[in-house]
Structure 1
């Protein structure tokens, strides 16, 4: 009976949440007005980082079959600005798709990227309340694994992302809550997080438009397509259901970018009600 209760954050005309859908439709549909400039695969149970310039498009793809990917993103010039998963959940949804944006943390609070295409957009809500492209959960990590199993494992997504960003001058402390691409999740009747088998098939992708220059990192989750239990009495090694993920980066013809400008950081001045007092000796 709560399904139609209004969201806390509402879109008002002219606000940053009011997306110019015609602009992103043009980018998605004009496939002949883009050029592939880089393409690579991320092997199973590893991570990789890459940069994308503002005004370019990139895809995360399933080149072989179902596989979950844990995705981090930063401002390429200032890693203090990065994906804020919690606020993105509130502004866009706990699961994201076409026209949704990934927002950065305070004091920046602007869209880092906008989703322009999603081959799994029709997944909708399944019989258990699951949805795809998850912001509810976060990356698997060796710390919780040690707590649950007593064992060390060095290829969790947190570790994969850590190794991926080291060449870019970042550390474990820069790895943050992720977007779980191709992952189906929800909350059960006990209000506990659940994960389901990945629905992605060979050729599926999630596509993003870079609103600013960004550094991205992707981990091919060691749980693979999440079709087997990872913890508990039925846990088993999911190595057989692990597959690579792909990344494609495209430049766009200038004609597609007419009228677009990179978003500015939040206009709030950041004084938080404090008044600056000029010292007496400077008066």
Structure 2
């Protein structure tokens, strides 16, 4: 491909609607198995959209999900998509002690590798809760890359690392060799805008979101975008006991996620973006050597 080729990573963090951090004040992990699962139906909605465009994506899957939906994981892998790890129990990594974080990461990776029969190379922390310790744990566990770092500082759940420069739109390499594929963020003058997806994709007007992404793509080689399966499920149960701002963040725009994703993909195609998995991009550009 020519040097000026732009790339887009469509990534999906595979978790149930009831595992989201916004709902944790109302739903404990011990209650998860008592709620109706919808992840398979929602993942199929995602796969149908990707298939309609012949796009391969990267799926960061919880070990908890893989244990309960093994055939879904195999279907994702067998369809040519990249399977990567989202940890096991969707806990903020910096809240776990050393023993628990290592076990969470080890058990999730082993489960995914056993199901796929292939090495799992990538990881994304729940709620992007990366820190310096996690960088070492991932390298020790044998991961090639992480994709959890966001330069956006206004979300308290996002982690923080001091071992990498705050570059945007390029792959970072930590001092222990682990690669970091950061989330995308637009800078316009003194202002920064989170444009990697998720709630920001649903809360911002699509025209504004596309304008910000277009500005970013013009200046950077790749664009890293994410969504969750539950964002394709407007009919999901509504938990009214959570904070008002969590309600806005979680429930706004769910009826339009699929429609907006299709329009957004067409926009990225017009920008001449090549859709590729993260692992493929790293190999293509010799980062893994």
TM-score, L = length of structure 2: 0.25
Query: Larger relative contact order (C-alpha < 8 A, sep ≥ 6)?
Result: 1
Q: Where is the strand percentage greater, Structure 1 or Structure 2?
A: 1
TM-score, L = length of structure 1: 0.25
